[in-house]
Structure 1
Amino acid sequence: MMDTGLFQLWGMRLLLVFLALLILFFHLLPLDPAPSNWAGPDILVALVFAWSVRRPEYVPVLLVAGVMLLADMMLQRPPGLWSVLVVCAVEWLKSRERRQRETTFVLEWLTFAGTLIVITILYRAVMMILILAPGTLTLSLVQVLMTIAFYPVVVGVSYFLFGVRRSAPGDMDRLGRTL
């Protein structure tokens, strides 16, 4: 007999991997050969953060690490640095999931914004310590602000299209334990 809860769990994990690959594919398309003066939002980070706040069981640590490491390789960032920061931030957000359950969306958005700002500052600081060129500060600020502004869209698409919602206080997991 097939366990529908387990099937849904692995289906959502595979959906996250598919969405990450789709985001990377569109990010790597050579649509404009000239360098841009602004940076678009980091949709992949917003997606992983939104799912980790709303349904932490959909984003296990190894899946996040693998997806983010693949993104580091594909986007030619220092391998592992951004991945480690995102994994640490996701685990911190997952540990706060019970407290975030009863809060408003605005507080969730502010938590996301603060977490993103902290890991971006840490990323730039480590890059400077290692004497690597972290890129212009203006471009990083624009990307962070665009990602923060785009977060409600990612949450809305995740909720309405994929059904990723917050767990209610009385919800049960597939083993019958209270979430």
Structure 2
Amino acid sequence: MIQLPSRAFVLGTLVFLGVAAILLFLRLLPLSTGIMGWPGPDLGLALILAWVLRRPDQISAPAILLVVLVEDLLLMRPPGLWAAIVLLGSEAARLREPRWRDQPFMVEWLRVAVLIGAMMLGYRLVLVLFLLPVSALGQVILQFLATALAYPLVVFGARWLIGLRRVARRDAI
């Protein structure tokens, strides 16, 4: 028999989709003056990784894929490439979440930064391999640093604004 999804799963997924839509809307707003400076962090990626490491039971792979694929299309990136890489990275983090649960936040932050770096490097390598245009390496490194440095702020914001807390060991399946 087919089991219906729990109320917490549906509510968590809807909240995630809503927050991701707000972040994408803010990213699409024409706020720049035309001068390209420091690239901002990828808050959507940081949110996905924070959510997967805090509440892996509330966010599914299709929801992650949908959010990043819509972002790919609206930001005019190669459709599906970054979505596939983010899905692979988030599922790798989800598999390791039980082992990372009892670690201090600094260790999680370092692991997430390494994962973000590997994802961005993989994306860039695929673009180069298929002779697609790539952005300047300096801009990519700055975006990686901005995303890695923004991760603790995203975790704090998700905990404070949404109430996204880490799953307790007794509540884990």
| Matched length | 169
Does 1:26 pair with 2:22? no
**Is structure 2 residue 158 aligned with structure 1 residue 153?**
no
What percentage of aligned pairs have identical amino acids? 34
1:33 is displaced (CA, Å) by: 4.4
Q: Which runs of 4+ in 1 moved over 3 A?
A: none
**Offset of residue 80 of structure 1:** 0.6
Q: Structure 2 counterpart of 1:109, which letter?
A: W
Unpaired runs of at least 5, structure 1 = 172-177
TM-score with structure 1 length normalisation?
0.91
Q: Aligned runs of 1:88-167 on 2, under 5 Å?
A: 88-167=88-167
Give the aligned residue type for 2:59.
Answer: V
1:72 aligns with 2:72: yes
Amino acid at match of 2:107: L
Report the equivalent of 2:43.
Answer: 43
Question: What residue ranges of structure 2 are gaps of 5+ in the alignment?
Answer: none
**Is contact 2:158-2:164 (8 Å) kept?**
yes
Structure 1 residue 32: deviation in Å? 2.1
Question: How big is each residue's C-alpha offset from its partner over 1:57-82, in whole Å with a ceiling of 9 and x where there is no partner?
Answer: 12200000010000000111110111
TM-superposed deviation, 1:129: 0.8
Name the CA distance, whole Å, in 2 between partners of 1:7 and 1:72. Answer: 29
C-alpha distance in 1, partners of 2:23/2:118? Answer: 23
Residues 61, 115 of structure 1: alpha-carbon distance in 2 compared, 3 angstrom cutoff:
same
Once the two structures are overlaid, the 10-residue window that deviates more, 82-91 or 31-40, is 31-40
TM-score normalised by length of structure 2:
0.94
AA at the equivalent of 2:32: D
